[in-house]
């Protein structure tokens, strides 16, 4: 039991939340440890619990899931606490919803009509921190949406807080240089490159590398 992945379920629909809890708890390696339906209640309770993966629906009582995800990430980063991974769920899929979920810090978007196996696969992949998207495909996605490139003044300001090494690695990340090549140039193991990237990511106020990628894209700094 000690190796179970701890799951938090936040959904304004009691029936859907009950069904998902049954699906998750039927697995030998997963356990729902927290449930909630209300934004403000979840905002208070989640940081006090030990949770590996949060499954948050877009529709909540007292607000929406995107707002909850954003505020939770801000709280975790302000407290320098370990962030749970976030999966967003919704009643439908759209490019706009996918982009909004990514911006809010989610690593995946799962719709209500998805098969149970898809939700379980997403939970396990997210828990494994397998949040390395195909950045070339992500760039194509943003270009296809004709996403407006507007630099965030806050992001540009936070870049000034990075160390010289973090800026150097981030510049190579923006150029699309593979992490193993960065590691070779740094004369360090690959995990060290990821640590530096994650440090830069957190200093910039982001939960995922996809958020960082998006900020670089919007700032016109992406060269991949």
* pLDDT single digits (tens) 84-125: 999 999 988 888 899 999 999 999 999 988 999 999 999 998
Give the pairing of strands 63-64 and 59-60. Answer: antiparallel
Positions in the chain whose pLDDT score sits under 70: 1-3, 129-133, 146-149, 224
Is 5-127 a CATH 3.40.50.2300 domain? yes
pLDDT at 202: 94
Q: Where exactly does CATH 1.10.10 map onto the chain? A: 135-218
Tell me the fold of 135-218: Arc Repressor Mutant, subunit A (1.10.10)
Measure Cα distances from 109 to 41, 106, 117, 188 in Å: 23, 7, 14, 34
**Backbone CA torsion sign across 8, 10, 14, 20:** negative
Beta carbons within 8 Å of 120's beta carbon, 6+ residues apart:
23, 24, 27, 30
Query: Quick one: pLDDT at residue 184?
Result: 94
Question: What pLDDT, on the 0 to 100 scale, is given for residue 138?
Answer: 85
- Within the chain, all domains assigned CATH 3.40.50.2300 are found at 5-127
Question: What CA–CA distances, in Å, run from 42 to 66, 104, 122, 202?
Answer: 13, 16, 22, 22
């Amino acid at each position: 039991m000690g190796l179970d992945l701890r799951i938090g379920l936040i959904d304004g629909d009691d029936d859907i939340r009950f069904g998902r809890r049954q699906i998750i708890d039927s697995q030998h390696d997963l356990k729902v440890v927290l449930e909630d339906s209300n934004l403000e209640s979840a905002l208070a309770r989640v940081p006090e619990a030990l949770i590996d993966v949060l499954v948050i629906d877009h529709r909540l009582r007292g607000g929406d899931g995107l707002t909850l995800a954003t505020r939770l990430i801000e709280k975790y980063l302000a407290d320098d606490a370990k962030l749970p991974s976030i999966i967003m769920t919704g009643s439908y899929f759209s490019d706009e919803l996918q982009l909004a979920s990514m911006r809010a810090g989610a690593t995946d978007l799962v719709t209500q009509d998805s098969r149970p196996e898809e939700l379980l696969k997403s939970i396990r992949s997210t828990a494994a921190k397998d949040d390395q998207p195909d950045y070339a495909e992500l760039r194509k996605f943003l270009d296809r949406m004709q996403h407006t490139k507007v630099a965030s003044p806050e992001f540009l300001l936070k870049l000034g807080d990075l160390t010289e090494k973090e800026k150097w690695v981030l510049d190579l990340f923006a150029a699309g240089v593979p992490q193993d090549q960065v590691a070779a140039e740094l004369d360090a193991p690959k995990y060290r490159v990821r640590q530096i990237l994650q440090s830069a990511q957190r200093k910039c106020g982001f939960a995922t590398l996809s958020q960082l990628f998006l900020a670089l894209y919007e700032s016109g700094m992406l060269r991949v």
